[in-house]
Amino acid sequence: MTIGSKTVASSAVSGSYGEIEAERGVVTLEQDVQFQEIEPERQLIAFDQDVWEVEPARQLVRFRQSVLQAGATEVVPVAYVTVGGVDYTATTALDTVVVSHTEDQSSTASVFLFFADDAVINIPSFHGKTLEISTHSDPSDINSEIIPLFTGWVETAKYDRDRRGIAINGSDLRDERLGREDQQQLQALTGGLYSNVTQREEAEGREYVTELMKTVSGSIGYNRDGSLLFHNWGTASGIDAVYGDADVAYDGVEVEFQTRSSIINSVDINIQYQYQRLRTLTTNVDAYKRRMFPVGIGFDGRAFDRNDMLQKLESFSPWELIRYTFYPLERFKSYFVGANRIYVTDAAWTEYGRTRYCQGIDATLKRRIAQPVRENYSMTIDAPQSIDAYSETVKGTELNFSLSVDYDRSNWEQDYKEGTQVSVTESFSYQQALADNRRDDLANAFDCAYAIAKKEIISSHRKNYVSFDRLQTIDQYDVGDVIQINTRIIQTTGQIVSLEYTFADGVRNTSYKIAVSYMDTEVAAPIEDYSRPDAPAKPGIGGLVGSSAVYNTNDGAFDIIIRDIQERYTDELEQDIDNEYSLPIENTSITLINGY
């Protein structure tokens, strides 16, 4: 690139001095001064908002009224069966009523309804209708409390010609109903986390519940009476029932230990975060030529039009001219060639000329670069108790996530002009915030990823099961309740993962399956030490680029060279951040004695 103009004096002795333009008219500035009063920032409206929780209209009491013949003996039904709000107890085969509740699954029930011979079976009376099963706490007392056992809907109904009735299976439609629950309520109830980065994006309905529960070391479902039920895994909530030898059927006790291949005691998480680091590169162009530049026996007396110089520097886009200082015009004086004196009249050396021309310029230019930066976070969650118990670090599925900031680089590299900013500091901060605006998403992703890995590890350790029956009793417990069993055969504490009620001829039983978290280790449980990884120090925002300006006498102009921008300012920067965490796992003892 060359900058130059020839200034020819009207009465030059030798050499070329350039052209002098005609003097121009006076510039008149017109200014309107307007009166301005500043109104400070202030609050105009304060919103006082209360958020009330709605409790919907609902039935509080349902009256079950049994009218008996005068003098009749009160018969306490084995169970009450209601279909579509109608009591079918009298026509239910009470030798085949089974209700099952299992963790993370729909509760089910099965009953058989008799219908009168030759009667038209009213299909709408049961198809898709509600199904409720309950029983008295005391099977001999009609006035004893009624215990709900199942609240749901008729899922399947099959006509059995041989038995002359309909075999009905009910379901509490857990997944479908969870999908209709309020998302915020579910999050508040479970403490679950959701991120578009770590879980399925824009999940709704039952998908949302599935994604939310990935971060919860617990289970959600519906209670025996149809109300929403959530429980955290573990026995920390306290023991709900203790059963001894007299409480548990001696036969039917089963203990099933965890499958070795299902153990996971370490999970690696990788999260990449990409953003733009906004840099401002600076170069200084110092172009100076003295007026009496010696060339041969004479001098190059060129000077330069200031406007031309500015225009040329401003044409270096995307470099932006920020500051400049002209080297003032110097006087071309008489000089000697040998013994001869050369007299010079410098036509440019006037008051006008000194404002019009210059000997060069010292200018600062800036160029903006949006440099991509990738932060690679690596998180390893270990369960040291399990690693000791199984003498191996068993890795679970590696979790990989990434998120990037959607920022248009041209906003910074081309559209942004420092010279037009009221406050460079504020405007830069604003742009940088736009180019790095997903830190909250990143923080949420950390939390979600950790919770997902935590659940994976914990769930793989609570698969030791103890199953037992309690005969002639219907217990009012739910999945998630904690049972301590202290019998001659088995002593341990676990959490109910399955509960089954069975009514048959002479049978009125509650069957339990409890999950026990057990490991063979003496290693103490570590303190859970999760905290979000710290962001690394951000790269610098500045940079210097070299430049040169050399006067070329042949061209009568400056050759200006701005060097190429170094790759370390433009190429993607990678920063690695590694973190390790220890996860405690509940370790409950199991005592198992062989015998009758």
Partner 1 sequence: MAIQWKLYTDAALTTPFIGTLSIVHYTDFSDNPQDFVLYLGNIDGDPADNGAWKLVRADDSDILLTITDTTPGSGHETTEIKLATSLLDLDTAIAGAALNLGSELISGVTAAQPVHIRVTNAVSIAGTSLELGTSINETVRRSAV
Backbone angles phi, psi at 210, to 5 degrees: -60, -45
In angstroms, rounded to a whole number, what is the distance separating the alpha carbons of residues 546 and 565?
Answer: 9
Q: Which of 30, 41, 53, 351 binds partner 1 (CB under 8 A)?
A: 53
Judged by CB under 8 A, the stretch of 144-152, 361-369, 372-380, 572-580 that binds partner 1 is 144-152
Residue 236 C-beta: closest distance to partner 1, Å: 19
Start-to-end CA distance of the chain, whole Å, equals: 101
Judged by CB under 8 A, the stretch of 85-93, 236-244, 256-264, 483-491 that binds partner 1 is 85-93
If the CB atoms of residues 142 and 561 are measured against partner 1, the closer one turns out to be: 142
Query: At 56, which amino acid appears?
Result: P
Q: How far is CA 124 from CA 40, 87, 110, in A?
A: 71, 15, 18
Question: Would you give the distance in Å from CA 152 to the centre of its chain?
Answer: 35
Is there binding between residue 40 and partner 1 (CB under 8 A)?
Answer: no
Judged by CB under 8 A, the stretch of 54-62, 334-342, 379-387, 447-455 that binds partner 1 is 54-62
If the CB atoms of residues 74 and 392 are measured against partner 1, the closer one turns out to be: 74
Is there binding between residue 69 and partner 1 (CB under 8 A)?
Answer: yes
Closest CA to 389 of 518, 494, 266: 518
If the CB atoms of residues 27 and 54 are measured against partner 1, the closer one turns out to be: 54
On the CB side of 191, CA atoms within 13 Å amount to 11
Q: Which of 60, 119, 236, 246 binds partner 1 (CB under 8 A)?
A: 60
Is there binding between residue 48 and partner 1 (CB under 8 A)?
Answer: no
Q: Compose the 551-570 pattern: x for residues touching partner 1 by CB under 8 A, - for all others.
A: --------------------
Is there binding between residue 179 and partner 1 (CB under 8 A)?
Answer: no
Is there binding between residue 67 and partner 1 (CB under 8 A)?
Answer: yes
Q: Which of 26, 29, 38, 70 binds partner 1 (CB under 8 A)?
A: 70
Helix 205-213, helix 183-190: angle, nearest 10: 20
If the CB atoms of residues 89 and 210 are measured against partner 1, the closer one turns out to be: 89
In angstroms, rounded to a whole number, what is the distance separating the alpha carbons of residues 535 and 460?
Answer: 31
Question: Which helix (H) or strand (E) covers residue 130, if one does?
Answer: strand 130-136
Q: Which of 36, 49, 59, 261 binds partner 1 (CB under 8 A)?
A: 59
Q: Which of 1, 116, 123, 142 binds partner 1 (CB under 8 A)?
A: 142
**What is the DSSP annotation of 521-574?**
--PPPPPP---PPPPPPPPPS--B--EEEEEETTTTEEEEEEPPPPHHHHSPEE
On the CB side of 293, CA atoms within 13 Å amount to 21
Is there binding between residue 63 and partner 1 (CB under 8 A)?
Answer: yes
Closest CA to 412 of 398, 396, 397, 424: 424
Give SS3 for 388: helix
If the CB atoms of residues 136 and 214 are measured against partner 1, the closer one turns out to be: 136
Judged by CB under 8 A, the stretch of 142-150, 159-167, 351-359, 385-393 that binds partner 1 is 142-150
Rg (CA), the chain: 43
Task: Judge whether 135 and 79 are in contact, CB under 8 Å.
Answer: yes
Is there binding between residue 116 and partner 1 (CB under 8 A)?
Answer: no
Q: How far is CA 321 from CA 4, 282, 357, 541, in A?
A: 18, 10, 19, 19
Task: Judge whether 309 and 316 are in contact, CB under 8 Å.
Answer: no
Q: Which of 31, 43, 49, 65 binds partner 1 (CB under 8 A)?
A: 65
Residue 509 C-beta: closest distance to partner 1, Å: 21
Question: CB atoms < 10 A from the CB of 409, how many?
Answer: 16
Residue 42 C-beta: closest distance to partner 1, Å: 29
Is there binding between residue 238 and partner 1 (CB under 8 A)?
Answer: no
Is there binding between residue 341 and partner 1 (CB under 8 A)?
Answer: no
Residue 480 C-beta: closest distance to partner 1, Å: 17
Q: Compose the 494-513 pattern: x for residues touching partner 1 by CB under 8 A, - for all others.
A: --------------------
Q: Which of 26, 44, 61, 593 binds partner 1 (CB under 8 A)?
A: 61
Is there binding between residue 268 and partner 1 (CB under 8 A)?
Answer: no
In terms of Cβ atoms closer than 10 Å to its own Cβ (0-12, 13-18, 19+), residue 441 is middle
Backbone angles phi, psi at 384, to 5 degrees: -60, -30
Q: Which of 64, 417, 439, 488 binds partner 1 (CB under 8 A)?
A: 64
Residue 127 C-beta: closest distance to partner 1, Å: 19
Give SS3 for 133: strand
Q: Which of 58, 202, 423, 440 binds partner 1 (CB under 8 A)?
A: 58
Structure tokens at 294: 């010696």
Give ∠ CA 265-271-274 in degrees, rounded to 5: 175
Instruction: Give the binding-site size for partner 1 (rule: CB under 8 A).
Output: 41
Judged by CB under 8 A, the stretch of 6-14, 146-154, 268-276, 512-520 that binds partner 1 is 146-154
In angstroms, rounded to a whole number, what is the distance separating the alpha carbons of residues 535 and 567?
Answer: 23
Residue holding tokens 């049978």? 507
Is there binding between residue 198 and partner 1 (CB under 8 A)?
Answer: no
Structure tokens at 70: 């005068």
Q: Which of 34, 36, 49, 143 binds partner 1 (CB under 8 A)?
A: 143
Closest CA to 99 of 481, 508, 468: 508
Is there binding between residue 146 and partner 1 (CB under 8 A)?
Answer: yes
- Any idea what DSSP says for residue 27? P
Q: Compose the 199-228 pattern: x for residues touching partner 1 by CB under 8 A, - for all others.
A: --------------------------x---
Is there binding between residue 240 and partner 1 (CB under 8 A)?
Answer: no
Report the interface residues with partner 1, using CB under 8 A.
50, 52-72, 74, 82, 85-87, 89-90, 134, 136, 142-143, 145-148, 182, 185, 189, 225
